[in-house]
Amino acid sequence: MSETLAAVRAEFTKVRCVRTTYLALLLFVPLSLLVAALDGASARSAIDSHNPLLRAGFTPQQAGLDGILYGQLALIVFGVLVVSSEYGSGMVRVSLLAVPRRGRLFAVKSLVAAAVTAAVAIPVTVLGYLATQAALGPHGASIGDAGVPLALGGAVGYLTLMSLFALGVAATARSAVLPLAVLLPMVLAGSHILTVIGATRQLAQYFPDQAGLQMLTVGSHRAVTGFAVLLAWTAAALACGFLRQWRWDG
Amino acid sequence: MIDVYDLTKRYGQNTVVDGLSFTVRPGAVTGFLGPNGAGKSTTMRMMLGLTHPDSGSARIAGRPYHELRHPVRQVGALLETAVAHRGLTAANHLRWIAESNGIPRGRVAQVLDLVGLSGAARQRLGTFSLGMGQRLGLAAALLGDPAVLVLDEPVNGLDAEGIRWLRELLRHQAAEGRTVLVSSHLMTEMSLVADHLIVVHRGRLLADTSTADFIRRHARSYVRVRTPEAVMLARELDRRGATSTMAPDGSLEVGGMPAAEINRLAAAAGLTLDELSTQTGSLEDTFLGLVGDRSDARV
């Protein structure tokens, strides 16, 4: 078996067997689905009671993608832990003894993290959409509506890239604390707040998460631009992370 | 075969490994000896490609470590700082290493059995004791049935039985024609297992010789003399150029004069001797004496 394939197998085993990494990945499922269903249910009662608090641009199609926006927190933690579990424990040395080509080790690790994220993101994104529509009941939309399949695909791409972005940031920091302290608030609120303030709105749309959100916006005309911006962020983070691993000494 | 050539590593102003060159040959246990901070671990990490040298090179089987194909099958390494993730079980830790180098999965149970950890295979490593962790590290080193072993302080954390087991294992591995490099800061331990010694201090080579030769050349011997008239004998010895010091128990420790000559001297002076015996200084004293004397010179 080729050395790269062997390394891929080993990285899969690590993801599956290191408990914290595995738990972060699993947490994505209930978090996304629960929020998706609650979102649909609360929107339904708001529509039924003509509640003015229902946000202006509400569409059932877009609401179907709200769950994974919360679920992505778990995937960001996953991306960070995949790398920080190595540096934090000293396992990185064992990994480098087993796969001493640092480029190969980093590429394989990133690839496996991306593959695992996508494999979980695909069913959860679809199921989350369906859960929201089911909870909306009579107000629900179809999964075949215009722009929806594309947005669902975009969502899987977005989640995968965000997880990789987190991996790259963690590899650059060689730890978990700082990346999590920056990434989680950014995704939760930070960059969204910037979009509300007029002066920083222009800037905020180039943040990785804000740009990437265009990928999962139903009917967005800027999906490709958003994808390109998030891809650039991810590539830059991975490059920095790789450089830091390349230069790691110990 | 391990070749280290002119290896140098600096951390800031501090030169940890300073132009070190030596060869480790197969078929013998080679002890890598030096006090703490002598640069042993850094040298081993450079051999294994974990630390980048400032200059020089280290080759295993003729190649730098990172060029070895499926390195775990060629080199078994144990490093103090290369540890498993606490959340993994012992078996899963070995399993991913085996997978990464295309080693059959059945080998995991074999090495766990070999190091006496079969019963703890499904235990998480966070619950392991120091000695168990060390055994697991040895299991990982042996996993690929490698022709070269590089073990940094493998005795650490092992109990008496474990140490004896390890000695036998190392001798057995060497007898099979493998290259075995074992570091330690304990001369006594090395004398029990190593055929050959590479001694370093402050990053430099102090000695590269067989263990027997090293002890013969550097062991300090003295003669213990017990006599009721110690002061008078000391004066006689001093007159003949021998050195003597009074031990706390009142006996004399005499250097620079063989026992027979001391006996003749005492007889001539009419002094009675209660004890006259040649003593060899402990290996640890030998080693510390060497390191203390020759800290900057090559032996």
CATH of the domain at B95: 3.40.50.300
Cβ distance of B100 and A250 shorter than 8 Å: no
On whether both B23 and B109 belong to a single domain, the answer is yes
- Look up the CATH number of the domain holding residue B233: 3.30.70.100
Domain total for chain B? 2
Instruction: Answer yes or no: is B297 within a domain.
Output: no
Q: How far apart are CA B39 and CA B22, in angstroms?
A: 14
Local confidence band at B298 (pLDDT 50, 70, 90 cut-offs): very low
pLDDT tops 60 at residue B295: no
Instruction: Answer yes or no: is B201 within a domain.
Output: yes
Q: Average pLDDT, stretch A24-49?
A: 94
Q: How far apart are CA B218 and CA B201, in angstroms?
A: 16
On whether both B233 and B188 belong to a single domain, the answer is no
The answer to whether A243 faces chain B, any CB pair under 8 Å, is no
On whether both B235 and B207 belong to a single domain, the answer is no
On whether both B162 and B34 belong to a single domain, the answer is yes
Looking at residue A20, its amino acid is T
Judging contacts by C-beta atoms under 8 Å, the chain A residues touching residue B133 are none
Instruction: Answer yes or no: is B286 within a domain.
Output: no
Judging contacts by C-beta atoms under 8 Å, the chain B residues touching residue A87 are none
- Residue B181 belongs to what domain range? 2-215
Q: Average pLDDT, stretch B154-174?
A: 93
Question: Which of B215, B247, B272 is a domain's end point?
Answer: B215
Instruction: Answer yes or no: is B168 within a domain.
Output: yes
Local confidence band at A191 (pLDDT 50, 70, 90 cut-offs): low
Q: How far apart are CA A75 and CA A26, in angstroms?
A: 9
On whether both B108 and B187 belong to a single domain, the answer is yes
Percent of chain B whose pLDDT exceeds 90? 65
Question: Which of B215, B233, B262 is a domain's end point?
Answer: B215
Q: What is the pLDDT of residue B279?
A: 82
Q: Chain-wide mean pLDDT for chain B?
A: 91
pLDDT tops 80 at residue A52: no
Q: What is the pLDDT of residue B80?
A: 84
Q: What is the pLDDT of residue B296?
A: 46
Q: How far apart are CA A166 and CA A168, in angstroms?
A: 5
Residue of B52, B66, B100 lying closest to A7 (CB–CB):
B100
Q: How far apart are CA B143 and CA B73, in angstroms?
A: 8
pLDDT in tens, A58-70: 899 999 999 999 9
On whether both B48 and B15 belong to a single domain, the answer is yes
pLDDT tops 50 at residue B297: no
**What is chain B's alpha carbon radius of gyration, rounded to the nearest angstrom?**
24
Instruction: Answer yes or no: is B298 within a domain.
Output: no
Lowest pLDDT segment from A29-33, A141-145, B66-70: A141-145
Q: How many C-beta atoms lie closer than 10 Å to residue B175's C-beta?
A: 12
Task: Give domain limits for chain A.
Answer: 3-247
pLDDT tops 60 at residue A210: yes
On whether both B124 and B227 belong to a single domain, the answer is no
Judging contacts by C-beta atoms under 8 Å, the chain A residues touching residue B77 are 97
On whether both B104 and B78 belong to a single domain, the answer is yes
Residue of B75, B84, B99 lying closest to A13 (CB–CB):
B99
Instruction: Answer yes or no: is B229 within a domain.
Output: yes
Ranked by mean pLDDT, which of A121-130, A201-210, B214-223 comes out on top? A121-130
